Amino acid sequence: MHKGKHRMDYVSDIEWPRRAVVTAGMPYGNKKLHFGHVAGVFVPADAYARFLRDRIGADEVLFVSGTDCYGSPIDEGYRKACEGSDTEEPFQGTIVDYVRRNHDAQKATLDAYGISLSVYEGSCLGASAGIHERLTRRVFDRLHANGHLMRRSTLQFFDPEAGVFLNGRQVTGHCPVQGCRSEKAYADECDLGHQFSPEELINPISAVSGKAPEMRPVENWYFDLPNFREQIARVNADNAADPDVRAVVSKAVGEFLAAPVIYIKNELQDDYRALAFALPAHEFHEAEGGKQSFTIEFASIDDRDAARDALLHAGLKIRTGKTLVPFRLSGNVAWGVPVPEMDGVSGLTCWCWPESLWAPVSFSIAALLHRAESGACGSAAQADPGAYAWSAFKDWWCSDDAQVYQFIGQDNLYFYGVVQPALWAAFEEGDRMEAYPSGDELRQTRLIANHHILFGKTKASSSGATKPPSADELLDWYTVDQLRAHWLALGLDQKSVGFKPKPFDPDEAKRADPRVADPVLKEGALLTNVFNRLARSCFYEAAKNFDGMMPLDAPAPDVVARAHAALHEYERLMKAASLHAVMSLMDEFIRAAQKHWADGIRDAEHADDDAARRQVLADSFYLLRVCALLMHPVAPAGCEMIAEYLQIAPERVFSWHAPFASMAELCDADEAASGVHAVKELPPRTDFFGKHPSQFK
């Protein structure tokens, strides 16, 4: 038996924050969740939040999200719901009722997938509603006081047949940004996240009447985004130099740091030259490398816009390039967070995208409020939970020893990678507002951007032509652990990847052919076969030959060294949120652990060696404990069941604050002295990671 002289304590060389916030985006409040919402953002974010709870302590992690309740998508969805359809009766109730219905469905889905949010409310629901409205008001007051708001009269689409101004989602057309092929663009953004002025939209059509709308002037507040080019560039340079930040972040943001330009087809060069003298000062660039358009470059966005208007008025078809443009903060959609009256302008609401940037702060304050109300933060906090929450959130969003990890889709990088850093910088100037006591300011966040998860070869979108399965439907065919493991292994941090569940294959012959493997079950097999077999073997052997006791002998030195190497590599990969690589590591480690058991017990049985049998069981329980810890963020239910049968408190099994020398370190002193620990009896044919009933057909 191996004794303490062989002990090697695990020492980490990775620095983690003292506390952390993890965010998971905000689903619109006009629909249920399809699998892309859950697979592309929520499961990766949940795995990371669970890891951080294990690594730095459950009380030091907030995992927040909520329903995006406001804005034109919800307003339009509510309008259509009230009209009814062939499959549904007209919705009866207020718009808040409509949002709450969808929110409750979203929450039920997230709960079914084990998404362990600290709070999931909504920008108009729960405690978050009042907090979010108050924070939005403070944001506008702060930006206005610091001189970063611009009041601009712009053109908005108006449907003369219906007699109404149209919100952003009630107008569709083709994206005008050069190089973008999206034919699903709205009033000022396309479905790929490109921003533009409404008058640039190509072939606009009103969703209300189906006719081409007119443009009429309206006044709104804009954030002076171009003024923060230097700050955005500095943050982006830091991200580019950080090996733990995905390259797609700095690449996507860098595209918007380009100079303001206009692209014009080569065949229109004579028409352009006839107008060039009347345009603001600019540089002419010939088309390069066989490109079909030449470029004119301007010193400012205002000069570019003036030239754009002149060229459009002259009938030239043009496209604009990605650059920093004033970012609209307000609108006249009635269903929105009210904007405070400023400079005599009233009656506006906040555009939903800006307020979704600070919504995670609102949700964090709400989570802290609930903690305080529960008594988890002490009697002083419980006496005035609201004051505590508004003060304490700075320890999570503003402190140097805290970090915010934001899981987002890559098509949202304009908002989180371009606009958000500028807004955070704009808050730093001038007098401190109430929301930021003691002079602390919001720190820049770490963006973890995933590529698209596809349904087969098509982008998973509930509004697309090919309807993906809902997240709920998938649970009729797979277990939660199987789906979580598969989605994390897909490598969305590297590229867009297709999700190809066999039960939903459009080819009926493949669905019916038992010889065709289901790719979704690849990682599930690691759980249901290999990991499950390791766990069952340990408990059944303890019951069979050790009177239900787990031996607490020190594991073999090579076993400890292998486990420590896996722990080190796991931490390194988690630091970069490289979750597909984590899954590859765990595949190798769990298979090696199972092989160590199988080979060791075979040799012990062949030699009829009780000491060898005891040692391999001690080794294997130790390896099982490490496997359970490392797979806990991936397959929490099964791993927590392992802790239950170990009869060791989960907070001890799933903690990184241990030497990882032996199982004795998890037991009390008397057990360590006796050399054994009683485990719970495992009934025959019990699975820690089971298959779905449909998979036994």
The CATH number that applies at residue 450 is 3.40.50.620
Contact 549, 593 (CB under 8 A): no
Structural domain total, the chain: 2
Residue 579: the pLDDT is: 97
- 223 versus 440: the higher-pLDDT residue is 223
Question: CA–CA separation, 351 vs 156, rounded Å?
Answer: 14
CA distances to 202, 269, 271, 286, 344 from 312, in Å: 12, 14, 12, 20, 33
Domain for residue 404, yes or no? yes
Question: CA–CA separation, 350 vs 331, rounded Å?
Answer: 6
Contact 225, 421 (CB under 8 A): no
For residues 555 and 443, state if they share a domain: no
For residues 540 and 686, state if they share a domain: yes
Taking residue 236's Cβ as centre, other Cβ atoms within 10 Å add up to 22
Question: CA–CA separation, 304 vs 308, rounded Å?
Answer: 6
CA distances to 202, 264, 316, 318 from 267, in Å: 20, 8, 11, 12
For residues 438 and 583, state if they share a domain: no
User: Which tokens sit at 206?
Assistant: 């009103």
For residues 524 and 647, state if they share a domain: yes
- 330 versus 165: the higher-pLDDT residue is 330
User: Which tokens sit at 615?
Assistant: 């040692």
pLDDT at residue 184 is higher than 70: yes
Q: Residue for token digits 């003024």?
A: 227
3-state class of 318 per DSSP? strand
Question: CA–CA separation, 19 vs 423, rounded Å?
Answer: 23
Tens digits of residue pLDDT in 649-683 = 999 999 999 999 999 999 999 999 999 999 999 99
Question: CA–CA separation, 260 vs 322, rounded Å?
Answer: 7
Give the mean model confidence (pLDDT) for residues 601-605. Answer: 96
- This prediction has a pTM of 0.91
Give the mean model confidence (pLDDT) for residues 250-274. Answer: 96
User: Which tokens sit at 580?
Assistant: 């597909």
SS3 labels along 534-566: HHHHHHHHHHHHCCCEEECCECCHHHHHHHHHH
Residue 513: the pLDDT is: 87
**Consecutive H or E run containing 199:** none
Whether the CA torsion 506, 512, 516, 518 is positive or negative: it is positive
Confidence category of residue 227, pLDDT binned at 50, 70, 90: very high
Residue 182: partners with Cβ closer than 8 Å, 6 or more residues away: 174, 175, 190, 191, 192, 194
- Lowest model confidence (mean pLDDT) among 69-83, 164-178, 337-351, 504-518: 164-178
Residue 653: the pLDDT is: 98
For residues 405 and 528, state if they share a domain: no
Residue 142: the pLDDT is: 93
Domain for residue 549, yes or no? yes
Beta bridge partners of 67: 122
Most distant pair of Cα atoms in the chain: their distance: 97
What is the C-alpha R_g of the chain?
29
Domain for residue 346, yes or no? no
Residue 435: the pLDDT is: 42
Residue 430: the pLDDT is: 47
- 449 versus 440: the higher-pLDDT residue is 449
User: Which tokens sit at 655?
Assistant: 């903690």
Average model confidence (pLDDT) for the chain?
92
Domain for residue 176, yes or no? no
For residues 566 and 685, state if they share a domain: yes
Give the mean model confidence (pLDDT) for residues 207-222. Answer: 88
Contact 432, 439 (CB under 8 A): yes
Question: CA–CA separation, 656 vs 14, rounded Å?
Answer: 12
Angle at 689 between CA 684 and CA 692, to 5 degrees: 100
> For residue 110, which of 32, 55, 162 has the smallest C-alpha distance?
32
Question: CA–CA separation, 130 vs 117, rounded Å?
Answer: 20
Residue 620: partners with Cβ closer than 8 Å, 6 or more residues away: 534, 537, 538, 593, 596, 597, 600
User: Which tokens sit at 390?
Assistant: 């508004």
For residues 486 and 576, state if they share a domain: no
For residues 650 and 527, state if they share a domain: yes
CA distances to 80, 208, 452, 494, 532 from 410, in Å: 29, 31, 7, 11, 35
Q: Which of 464, 499, 534 is the last residue of a domain?
A: 499
Above pLDDT 90, what percent of the chain? 75
Beta bridge partners of 549: 678
For residues 583 and 644, state if they share a domain: yes
How far the first Cα of the chain sits from its last, in Å, is: 46
For residues 480 and 572, state if they share a domain: no
For residues 417 and 562, state if they share a domain: no
Residue 439: the pLDDT is: 44
For residues 546 and 658, state if they share a domain: yes
- From the centroid of its chain, how far is CA 620? 35
CA distances to 181, 336, 654 from 51, in Å: 39, 36, 9
Residue 436: the pLDDT is: 39
Question: CA–CA separation, 222 vs 143, rounded Å?
Answer: 10
Question: CA–CA separation, 178 vs 594, rounded Å?
Answer: 54
Q: What is the extent of the structural domain holding 657? A: 520-695
- Dihedral angle at the C-alpha atoms of 129, 134, 140, 142, nearest 10 degrees? -140
Residue 434: the pLDDT is: 44
pLDDT at residue 98 is higher than 70: yes
Give the mean model confidence (pLDDT) for residues 277-298. Answer: 95
CA distances to 235, 380, 431, 598 from 147, in Å: 22, 38, 12, 70
> For residue 419, which of 522, 327, 319, 481 has the smallest C-alpha distance?
327
Domain for residue 561, yes or no? yes
Domain for residue 119, yes or no? yes
| CATH code of residue 686 | 1.10.730.10
- From the centroid of its chain, how far is CA 6? 43
Q: Which long-range contacts (CB under 8 A, 24 or more apart) does 341-349 make?
A: 342/140, 342/144, 342/149, 342/221, 343/151, 345/151, 345/219, 345/221, 348/220, 348/221, 349/70
Contact 410, 452 (CB under 8 A): yes
Confidence category of residue 431, pLDDT binned at 50, 70, 90: very low
Q: Which of 446, 468, 499 is the last residue of a domain?
A: 499
Domain for residue 225, yes or no? no
Domain for residue 638, yes or no? yes
- Lowest model confidence (mean pLDDT) among 81-85, 228-232, 268-272, 458-462: 458-462
pLDDT at residue 432 is higher than 50: no
Residue 339: the pLDDT is: 96
Going by DSSP bridges, is the β-strand pair 330-331/549-551 parallel, antiparallel, or unpaired? unpaired
Contact 471, 35 (CB under 8 A): yes
Confidence category of residue 582, pLDDT binned at 50, 70, 90: very high
